[in-house]
Amino acid sequence: MSDTVKASARNVRMSPRKVAVVAALVRGHNVKDAVTILSHVPRRAATPVRKVIESAKANAENNHDYQADSLVISHISVTPGVRLKRYRPAAHGRALPFERKSSHIFVEVSGQKRAAKKTVAKAAAKTKKEESK
């Protein structure tokens, strides 16, 4: 089992160059600081990056038993997604091509696991032992 927890957002309708600038702001920060930074960044790309980081945090807490305070962004990357070919009207009845770009955002967080909880079976066995004494 790996020591990182992943989350991703695919085909986000923003240019990868613009999203990568925002992702670079929080690379290496802990998750709590990263969410605070992104909530104050005045760029449209900050919202999907923040949502992916919060998703990775939720995955780590709920699915993998990590402590929320110890989570750090160990890897964040932005890759180009599909490009939608479109045409824009131009002078003299022409049409000029352009592309609507999209991005894939990948985040990995790492941290410390929570202390293992005692299982019900172990607790029941322990109480039986104490009763038999």
Of 48, 31, 44, the C-alpha closest to 108 is 31
Structure confidence at residue 121 as a pLDDT band (50, 70, 90): low
Where are the chain's structural domains?
A: 4-132
* Tokens 């402590």 belong to residue: 67
pLDDT reading at 54 higher than 80: yes
Which pLDDT does position 133 carry in this prediction? 65
Structure confidence at residue 94 as a pLDDT band (50, 70, 90): very high
Give the pair of three-digit tokens for residue 122.
Answer: 């172990």
pLDDT reading at 101 higher than 60: yes
The third-level CATH classification (topology) of the domain covering 4-132 is Ribosomal Protein L22; Chain A (3.90.470)
Q: What is the model's pTM?
A: 0.82
Average pLDDT of span 18-42: 96
Of 98, 99, 103, the C-alpha closest to 80 is 103
